[in-house]
Amino acid sequence: MSGTQLYGVLIRPGRRDDTERVRRFLAGLSLHTQTLRFFAGVGRPAASLVRALTEVTEARDVLVAVHEGEIVGHAMSYRGGVADVEIAVVVTDQWQGFGLGPELVNRLLARAVVRGATTVGMDVMGENRRVLGMIRKIWPDAAMKVSAGSVEVTAMIPEALIFAEQGSGGSPLTA
C-alpha cells in the first residue's frame, strides 16, 4: 500500500476498490459539509457520483485519507477548464480543523505539478469562510470572481511547491 501517514491517517491515491468506502464517506458527511463541497446535499450518493469520485483517468486524479479502514478525506483534480488543474476537497466533519484538507491540497497539487500544471482553479461557496480564508493565506494573488453565490478561484501553484517537486529543494509535504 503506497501512501504516507499524517496524524494516523494514511493519505494515498484513490483506487477502484474504494467505491463502497467513498459511498459510506459521502453518506456520513453532514448536510452542511455536503453542501459546501457539492453545492447541494447528496443524500444517498448516486452510483455515477461515486464512480466519478473513485475513477482515476488520464485527466482525473484522486487522493483519499484513510483512518482505521474508513475514508475521512477526499481530494480530486481534473485537468482543463479555466486553469491547468481544477481541484475539489472534502474532509469528514470529525476531521475538519486538523490540517487534513490543506495537506490533501498540497499533495494533490504536487502530483499535478509533476504532470506540468502551473495554475489551479476551484469553485468555493461564498459562505465557506474557512476555505476562502485558507485560499487568501496560501494564494494572496489569487483571482476571485463571485458568481451566483460561489467564488471562482484561479491561482498560480506556489513556486516553492513547483521547485521542490522538481528536485531543487526539500519537499514541503512533510507530516
Compute the mean pLDDT over every residue in the chain, rounded to the nearest whole number: 86
**DSSP element (H, E) containing 77:** strand 70-80
pTM: 0.85
What are the tens digits of pLDDT across the range 3-37?
Answer: 666 678 999 999 989 999 999 999 999 999 999 99
Q: Are 170 and 164 in contact (CB under 8 A)?
A: yes
Asked if 144 and 151 count as a contact pair (C-beta separation under 8 A), the reply is yes
Q: Which residues pair with 67 in a beta bridge?
A: 70
pLDDT band, very low/low/confident/very high, at 137 (cuts 50, 70, 90): confident
Statement: residue 95 has pLDDT above 70: yes
CA atoms within 13 A on the CB side of 130: 12
Angle (nearest 5°) at CA 106 between 5 and 86: 130
Contact assessment for residue 88 and residue 76, using Cβ atoms and an 8 Å cutoff: yes
